[in-house]
Structure 1
Amino acid sequence: MDCVMSENGQRPTLTLGFSPCPNDTFIFDALIHGRVDCGFSFREQLEDVETLNRMALSATLDVSKVSYHLLGHILKDYLLLRSGGALGRGCGPLVVARDGIDPGELAGKRIALPGQYTTAALLLRLFNPSLADFVYLPFHEIMGAVADGSVAAGVIIHESRFTYQGYGLKKVLDLGEWWEQETGHPIPLGGIAAKRSLGREALLSLERGLALSVEYAFAHPGAARPYIRAHSQEMSDEVCDAHISLYVNDFSRGLGPEGEDAVRLLLNRAAEAGIIPRWQEPLLIP
């Protein structure tokens, strides 16, 4: 499965960042390990989502998974690839607390967020712009901070959706569900950003290569298992599979008109709220 090769026959190497979460390792396994070919070699860097966001702010990587919130801050240097991301229904961040409280009671309470530039942080600010007392923690530390009373509530992402009840926590609000009811659109969580300076041909090749990698993963789900498990040893197979099932779907193959509309709406709402700057650059490869 080929996409492109350089004129001199040598394979360029690109830096590629994504998270160690099962959905990302599932998506990128075939691309990284040469099971599909788009004419590039990759030097991957696996980091948590907020680390990747901050690396993208300084334009460190050629290609990177980023939060859609962060995308609004980097469109001068990057654009969005249509494949490889996380966007869907029923997969949004959850607000959890020790006690059953009403979402309206969050005002004035200290809330833990999994990073300043995460989509989770953006959604909470869009839900209630008056909320302002935030503490930023790595996503895997949030449930413990809520459970021990360090914070009154926390916004959880990734596999925490499947494990928060084990910490004695209760769901206060499903931010993805709120977004879907508010807009009728699926929720854009994270997408793949690539440097505009790579040029249109290379960007299209990357976009196709990512789509092929997703297709390969769906067709050969066992092939990615060793790579997934190498980066998620603390998770059971059941949690890994649930994670992949929740975050990898047809939108990961390609955004399509529905996905593109959802992304534009989220960024427009963020810009109108003054959370991200307004942009002039094309969002996607023309």
Structure 2
Amino acid sequence: MIKQLINVGHSPDPDDAFMFYGLAKDKFDTGRYSFVHQLQDIETLNRRAMKGELEVSAVSLHAYSYLTDKYALMPCGCSMGDDYGPMVVARKELTKAELLKTKIAIPGTLTTAFLTLKLYFEGQPFEFEAIPFDEIIPAVESGKFDAGLIIHEGQLTFQNQGLKLHVDLGVWWKKVTGLPLPLGGNVIRKDLGKQTMSEVTRLIQKSIQFSLDNRADALAYALNYARDMDVKLADKFVGMYVNDWTIDYRERGRQAVERLLREGHRMGIIPSPTELEFVD
């Protein structure tokens, strides 16, 4: 049988590696589909999704607001920060007013972290520069930047470089809205047709559940993508972003996505209202 090829884009990080372990290592039958994994940083995947290059991709939920003509959200695969999330760190403690006057390294303008930072600043202008996410902590430590917006495992390791936390945007968002902060999700291209979209979504969900059911093996695989993390720390990080929210957004998770993108539009960051479309 000639299988239909599905290119899957996701980040080379322990949480995504954990999530896709079952598929990447052929741990279950994928029927008429064959999966090829393309590992790139999230901002690169956001940009590729704008061009519709991959059938399935992890994307920032900020980026999704620009992708609704091409992609639908899978109900599985969300990275949700429930009272935690991207952080702004600096070499010294800064007030909010001081931070507004500094140059901040960010992991990309389409990331949800950047959208949330702009919401935190209530639309006030600030100086920033986009650099690869894994270069932000070294760049702040070296003094190249005054502050940095960090994502992924840097949220658990920034203290090792002597950096100070200014704000955890997930904590701030929860305090303001009472909702978790939805950071990234999996999308699938709509031109595949409803049947394929549904079948592939079920396989992605099966991969996530397989990893949760076989945690030790999936974590051992994910450690290959963990920077400066031991098993204990990697397990903590994976638990933060691959959990019940990842199996299904559920009603509250969908409310969180709708609220985030609505606030982005209200503040003029996102040009048009976003109509959420989930795969059935």
| TM-score normalised according to structure 1 size | 0.92
In 2, the alpha carbon distance for the partners of 1:280 and 1:50 equals: 20
In 1, the alpha carbon distance for the partners of 2:232 and 2:97 equals: 34
User: Are 2:9 and 1:17 equivalent residues in the alignment?
Assistant: yes
**Does the 8 Å CA contact 2:100/2:125 hold for their aligned counterparts?**
yes
Amino acid at match of 1:212: K
**Does the 8 Å CA contact 1:37/1:209 hold for their aligned counterparts?**
no
In 2, the alpha carbon distance for the partners of 1:182 and 1:210 equals: 32
Amino acid at match of 2:237: H
**Does the 8 Å CA contact 1:52/1:64 hold for their aligned counterparts?**
yes
In 1, the alpha carbon distance for the partners of 2:170 and 2:93 equals: 19
Aligned-residue offset at 1:38: 4.4
User: Are 2:171 and 1:177 equivalent residues in the alignment?
Assistant: yes
Per-residue CA deviation, residues 153-190 of structure 1 (Å, 9 max, x unaligned), is: 11111111111111111101111111111111111010
Aligned-residue offset at 1:234: 4.8
Amino acid at match of 1:57: M
1:161 paired residue number: 155
**Does the 8 Å CA contact 1:32/1:41 hold for their aligned counterparts?**
no
User: Are 2:199 and 1:211 equivalent residues in the alignment?
Assistant: no
Alignment of 1:184-203 (within 5 A): 184-203=178-197
2:277 paired residue number: 283
2:97 paired residue number: 104
In 1, the alpha carbon distance for the partners of 2:163 and 2:228 equals: 20
**Does the 8 Å CA contact 2:58/2:185 hold for their aligned counterparts?**
yes
Distance 1:220 1:147, change over 3 A: same
**Does the 8 Å CA contact 1:159/1:239 hold for their aligned counterparts?**
no
**Does the 8 Å CA contact 1:38/1:208 hold for their aligned counterparts?**
no
1:239 paired residue number: 233
User: Are 2:139 and 1:139 equivalent residues in the alignment?
Assistant: no
Higher mean alpha-carbon deviation, 151-160 vs 83-92, is at 83-92
In 1, the alpha carbon distance for the partners of 2:261 and 2:9 equals: 22
Amino acid at match of 1:227: Y
Aligned-residue offset at 1:131: 3.2
Per-residue CA deviation, residues 13-40 of structure 1 (Å, 9 max, x unaligned), is: 1110001111101111112333234432
Distance 1:112 1:209, change over 3 A: same
1:80 paired residue number: 73
1:54 to 34, 47, 52: 47
Q: Secondary structure at the match of 1:222?
A: helix
Distance 1:88 1:148, change over 3 A: closer
Amino acid at match of 1:183: T
**Does the 8 Å CA contact 2:84/2:169 hold for their aligned counterparts?**
no
- The alignment-based identity, stated in percent, is 37
Q: Secondary structure at the match of 2:165?
A: strand
**Does the 8 Å CA contact 2:73/2:277 hold for their aligned counterparts?**
yes
Amino acid at match of 2:140: V
What are the ranges of 5 or more consecutive residues in structure 2 without an aligned counterpart?
none
Amino acid at match of 1:42: F
Amino acid at match of 2:74: L
Per-residue CA deviation, residues 116-171 of structure 1 (Å, 9 max, x unaligned), is: 11111000001111132001111111112212222111111111111111111110
Alignment of 1:29-68 (within 5 A): 29-39=21-31, 40-68=33-61
| TM-score normalised according to structure 2 size | 0.93
Q: Give 4+ residue runs of structure 1 displaced > 6 Å after superposition.
A: none
**Does the 8 Å CA contact 2:5/2:35 hold for their aligned counterparts?**
yes
In 1, the alpha carbon distance for the partners of 2:227 and 2:259 equals: 37
Per-residue CA deviation, residues 238-276 of structure 1 (Å, 9 max, x unaligned), is: 232121011111010011101111111111111222222
Q: Secondary structure at the match of 2:74?
A: strand
| Root-mean-square deviation over aligned CA pairs | 1.7
Higher mean alpha-carbon deviation, 157-166 vs 205-214, is at 205-214
2:217 paired residue number: 223
